[in-house]
Amino acid sequence: MNVNEVIANRAIEILKGKKGDYRIVHPNDHVNMSQSTNDAFHSAIRIAVRLSIRNKLVPALGRLEAALEKKSAEFARTLKVGRTHLQDAVPMTLGQEFSAFSKAIFVEIERLGLAEEELKYLQIGGTAVGTGINAPKGYTDICIREINRLTGIRFEKAKNFFYEISDQTTEACVSGLIRNAAIAMNKIANDLRLLASGPSTGFGDLILPAVQPGSSIMPGKVNPSVPEMVNMVCFEVMGNDSVVANAASNGQLQLNVFMPIIAYKLLYSIDILSNAADTLARECIGGIRANEKLLRERIEHDMSIATALTPYIGYARAAEIARRSYLTGRTVRQICIEEKVMSGDKLDRILDPKNLI
Residue 56 pLDDT: 98
Final residue of a domain: which of 239, 258, 291? 291
CATH number of the domain bearing residue 330: 1.10.40.30
Percent of the chain with pLDDT over 70: 100
Omega of the bond leading into 199 within 30 degrees of 0 (cis): yes
- Backbone phi, psi, residue 196, to 5°: -100, 5
Rg (CA), the chain: 29
Q: pLDDT: is 281 or 352 the higher one?
A: 281
What's the average model confidence in pLDDT over 2-30? 96
State yes or no: pLDDT of 185 exceeds 90. yes
Q: Give every CB contact of residue 15 below 8 A, 6+ residues apart in sequence.
A: 24, 25
Confidence band for 331, pLDDT divided at 50, 70 and 90: confident
Q: Is 92 found in the same domain as 169? A: yes
Q: Is 43 found in the same domain as 27? A: no
Final residue of a domain: which of 291, 325, 345? 291
Final residue of a domain: which of 268, 291, 314? 291
Using CA atoms, how far apart are residues 213 and 88, in angstroms rounded to an integer? 32
pTM: 0.90
**Residue 296 in domain:** no
Using CA atoms, how far apart are residues 321 and 315, in angstroms rounded to an integer? 10
Task: Give the burial class of 141: count Cβ atoms within 10 A of its Cβ; 0-12 exposed, 13-18 middle, 19 or more buried.
Answer: exposed
Judging by DSSP bridges, how do beta strands 121-122 and 156-157 pair with one another?
A: parallel
Q: Is 188 found in the same domain as 311? A: no
Q: Is 160 found in the same domain as 100? A: yes
State yes or no: pLDDT of 351 exceeds 90. no
**Residue 99 in domain:** yes
Using CA atoms, how far apart are residues 36 and 122, in angstroms rounded to an integer? 13
Residue 319 pLDDT: 92
What's the average model confidence in pLDDT over 16-23? 97
Domain with 320 in it: 301-355
**Residue 101 in domain:** yes
> 82 near 98, Cβ under 8 Å?
no
Of 215, 242, 249, 343, which is the active-site residue? Answer: 215
> 107 near 186, Cβ under 8 Å?
no
> 13 near 19, Cβ under 8 Å?
yes
Amino acid of residue 354? K
Whether 215 is catalytic: yes
Least confident stretch, 8-12, 186-190, 256-260, 305-309: 305-309
Least confident stretch, 4-18, 79-93, 169-183, 226-240: 79-93
Q: Is 272 found in the same domain as 203? A: yes
Confidence band for 199, pLDDT divided at 50, 70 and 90: confident
Q: Is 157 found in the same domain as 113? A: yes
> 284 near 227, Cβ under 8 Å?
yes
Least confident stretch, 48-52, 145-149, 210-214, 250-254: 210-214
Using CA atoms, how far apart are residues 179 and 97, in angstroms rounded to an integer? 23
**Residue 336 in domain:** yes
Instruction: Return the bridge partners of 255, or none.
Output: 252
Q: Is 134 found in the same domain as 49? A: yes
Confidence band for 241, pLDDT divided at 50, 70 and 90: very high
Residue 211 pLDDT: 87
CATH number of the domain bearing residue 270: 1.20.200.10
What's the average model confidence in pLDDT over 85-104? 95
The mean predicted confidence, pLDDT, of the chain is 94
Core vs surface per residue 145-169: b (16+ CB within 10 A) or e:
eebeeeeeeebebbeebeebbbebe
Using CA atoms, how far apart are residues 58 and 106, in angstroms rounded to an integer? 10
Using CA atoms, how far apart are residues 301 and 212, in angstroms rounded to an integer? 35
Confidence band for 290, pLDDT divided at 50, 70 and 90: very high
Residue from 143, 153, 139 nearest 48 by CA: 153
First to last CA, the chain: 64
Q: Is 176 found in the same domain as 82? A: yes
Confidence band for 8, pLDDT divided at 50, 70 and 90: very high
Using CA atoms, how far apart are residues 222 and 199, in angstroms rounded to an integer? 9
Q: Is 224 found in the same domain as 83? A: yes
**Residue 198 in domain:** yes
Q: Is 278 found in the same domain as 305? A: no
Q: Is 246 found in the same domain as 198? A: yes
Q: Is 225 found in the same domain as 131? A: yes
Q: Is 270 helix (H, G, I), strand (E, B) or coil?
A: helix
> 189 near 227, Cβ under 8 Å?
yes
The domain total for the chain is 3
